[in-house]
Amino acid sequence: MSEPKTRYQRRIDVPDHQVPRLTRYERFDRVLTTILKEVCAGSELRAEAKGKRILISLGSKGVWEFPTLETGLRSIGDILEQNIGAVTTIEGDCPCLDPLDQELLNGSFLSVSAFGDKVKVCWIRTLPAQEIGLKSGGSHRVTQTGVRTLIRDASKLLSLIREAVAVPERVDKVSTLARRPE
């Protein structure tokens, strides 16, 4: 007959109470730092709205759909860290309480990428086009794009994204001939 096994022979993990547990905010900072490391390694983080939900992609890792940007980033960080219970889908629509979510739902899209040893954060939105009539009877269509760009050292991801929203917007214009005179 075999002898009874102790808890050490059964490979039961005994928690070490001398090591302090991470608070919710420390864990959140850690998963965002994981995403920032992935961006600095060459992946591009992109976010845009689709209806009342936020689509987030990180390089070739895939595209995920979440109700808010913050929830999506936290879930993607958990997925990258391979945490137990990482959530890949969260149901529901965006409540539009966060200014970042409002910006995305208003038609802007977000791009975060590596820029040398720094991080480049861009908010890009399409502005209304203008039609300019010419004396010869032709017309030009001028499309406008609003761009807010921030280049900073890699630090806290959400702080960089929030700071980029407040940057003055540069308007890029592209003119195309819409109609030729006959």
What secondary structure does DSSP assign to 32-49, as a single string? HHHHHHHHHTT--EEEEE
Give the model confidence (pLDDT) of 28-81 as tens digits.
778 888 899 999 999 999 999 998 999 999 988 888 999 999 889 988 888 888
**Residues 60, 115, 149, 90, CA torsion sign:** positive
Q: What pLDDT is attached to residue 133?
A: 77
State mean pLDDT over 139-160: 89
